[in-house]
Amino acid sequence: MTDQSLQRRLAAIVVADVVGFSRLMEADEVATLANLKELRSGVIEPAVMRNNGRIFKVMGDGFLIEFASAVHAVAAALEMQRATSAVSGDRRLLLRVGVNLGDVVDDGSDVLGDGVNVAARLETQAAPGGICISANVHGEIVGKISDRFFDGGERYLKNLTRPVHVWHWPDALQSMLPLPECPSIAVLPFTNMSGDEEDVPFVDGLTEDLIIDLSRTAGLFVIARNSVNGYKGRPVDVRLVAQDLGVRYILEGSARRAMGRVRIKAQLIDALGGQQLWADRFDRTVEDVFELQDEVNAKIVEALVGRLTIPAQRNRPKNFEAYDLCVRARRLTEESPQTEREAYMLLQRAVELEPSYAEALGLLAYNRWLAWAHFGEPEDPNRRMAATFAQEAVELDPNDAGCRYVLGTILAYERRWEESEAAFAKALELDPNHADTWAAMSDMSVLDGRVADGLAQIEKALRLNPYPTCWYLCHLGQAQYAARDYEAATATLRREDTYRTNSRKFLAAALAQLGQREEARREAELFLIAHPHFTIGHWLNSQPLRDASVRDHFVDGFRMAGLPEL
């Protein structure tokens, strides 16, 4: 193909994609394909035609559309979204839409270029049923489109090296996180400078332990580790990361482990002003790595809020093979029944290498609790093991908030309510930023009938951990169900972050309560494929339920969805 055969022009590009298409296909392939065909012929094609556009590519559930005018592009996008929102019941397909005005290249069979790439990234920023447009599109439609778009500021979009200023319809500003009143910080994943993949868990562990130690400092607001993991290995603009996470300060750095030594470089940046507050480099033996962590932590705290009383140190392992095993297990335990079993093997080995390693014992307790309470493994001996390991972990390290939170969770499932509440309270005393504690307390509050408290606690957890692991969203959906906000529960539990997990049973119950019985039963059937041991009876016996009305409400939804009694 010659350069002469390529046509370059300015165009308004619309990218529209069906929300949760894979999930819908899994639930009912025939009906979903019929609904998609109806969406295309009855909604998208007429809106494109009325606004003088053309569909130049269809990719399954995605549509790429070109317009000569940004005004026509946005008018068509608004028409599509209003038409889809008017559809009710099982026929409804929600769209996300992105619109960009930019340079494109037409090779005769396809339209390519930066204008298309940015539109595709904007689509991912749109809310379900919403539209996200670039600043240059917004500049073209002001005074010509009556609908108001809301300023979302500059956003860092995947695979784009520069920020994009975005505008939303409808108002999506609730996703913009306000700065806390106290100094707020996110620690980005440290870069592994050794080039050896074997050192990745070690460097990840350094980052995570820095987060844990900083979060224990009263007077700081610290983002949880799950929410910074997504930035690993990516070039970042710290201003946009800070905006994304709702913090003012960013710590970034690198680490190298070689020849029995650890070298760390770190810098603390005020993202609001763009200036470096502190930077340093450290060189220690591997045996001194935890002292190094304490030193870095103290310097960061001093740079942010002056000299404060540093909390009592946590129990540190002496065996570095045990430490590596524990770091690997941290991320495996919660993912699935399969990875939970892999984590169990790693943690068993870590405890064999160092029997006094409190964090490893706490994670082992949590692992065995998940096994019997949620993943269908036998109650005996896992329940007994969980309680024993959790108590041992706290005795070995009374200053570890993570061990306290695990103990609080397990004691609740043992119906030792007062001891459980005391353990949670102590966890937050040790670490007021411990997002997992706030999330676990939400679960207990909801099952105790204190639904408003549960909603407030999970919101606190999500502010500390805005990009959480799946079980946070499970607890949010569970709390929304208990509050009888079934629409909100359904939207939460359909999110890709938690769909296809243990939360699916609550989605089935919420759909049943909305009268969508057929879809509820499909979701229940799909849930049982992954969790064949689930019964309503086991759920009732295993959960720390203290409120009869809440218990009956969940059972009612499970039964309507067709989940088995025994």
Q: Do residues 132 and 165 share a domain?
A: yes
Domain limits at 87?
3-175
User: What is the domain count for the chain?
Assistant: 4
Looking at residue 354, what is its pLDDT? 96
Q: Do residues 369 and 503 share a domain?
A: no
Q: What is the distance between the alpha carbons of residues 459 and 472, in angstroms, rounded to a whole number?
A: 10
* CA proximity to 122, closest of 94, 102, 139: 102
Q: Do residues 264 and 358 share a domain?
A: no
Q: Do residues 8 and 137 share a domain?
A: yes
Under 8 Å CB-to-CB from 50, ≥6 apart: which residues?
Answer: 76, 79
Q: Do residues 547 and 498 share a domain?
A: yes
Q: Do residues 18 and 136 share a domain?
A: yes
Tell me the pLDDT band of 1, cut-offs 50, 70 and 90.
very low
**Domain endpoint, select from 153, 175, 197:** 175
Q: Do residues 22 and 141 share a domain?
A: yes
pLDDT tens for each residue of 484-542:
999 999 989 988 888 888 899 999 999 999 999 999 999 999 999 988 889 999 999 99
* Helix or strand (DSSP H, E) at 57: strand 54-59
**Per-position DSSP letters for 124-193, written without gaps between them:** HHSPTT-EEEEHHHHHHHTTT--S--EEEEEE--TT-SS-EEEEEES--GGGSPPPPSS-EEEEPPPEE-
Amino acid at 473: L
| Average pLDDT for 456-478 | 94
Greater confidence (380 vs 109) lies with 380
Q: Do residues 238 and 326 share a domain?
A: no
Tell me the pLDDT band of 173, cut-offs 50, 70 and 90.
very low
Burial 461-472 (b: 16+ CB within 10 A, else e): bbbbbbbbbbbb
Phi, psi of 142 (to 5 degrees): -60, 125
Q: Do residues 16 and 157 share a domain?
A: yes
Looking at residue 295, what is its pLDDT? 84
Q: Kindly report the pTM of this predicted structure.
A: 0.78
Burial 474-487 (b: 16+ CB within 10 A, else e): bbbbbbbbbeebbe
Q: Do residues 53 and 163 share a domain?
A: yes
CATH for 96: 3.30.70.1230
Q: Is the pLDDT of residue 124 over 70?
A: yes
In the chain, count of helices (H) and strands (E)? Answer: 23, 14
Q: Do residues 212 and 319 share a domain?
A: no
* Helix or strand (DSSP H, E) at 54: strand 54-59
Amino acid at 76: A
And the tokens for 406? 């695990």
Q: Do residues 28 and 168 share a domain?
A: yes
**Domain endpoint, select from 389, 424, 459:** 424
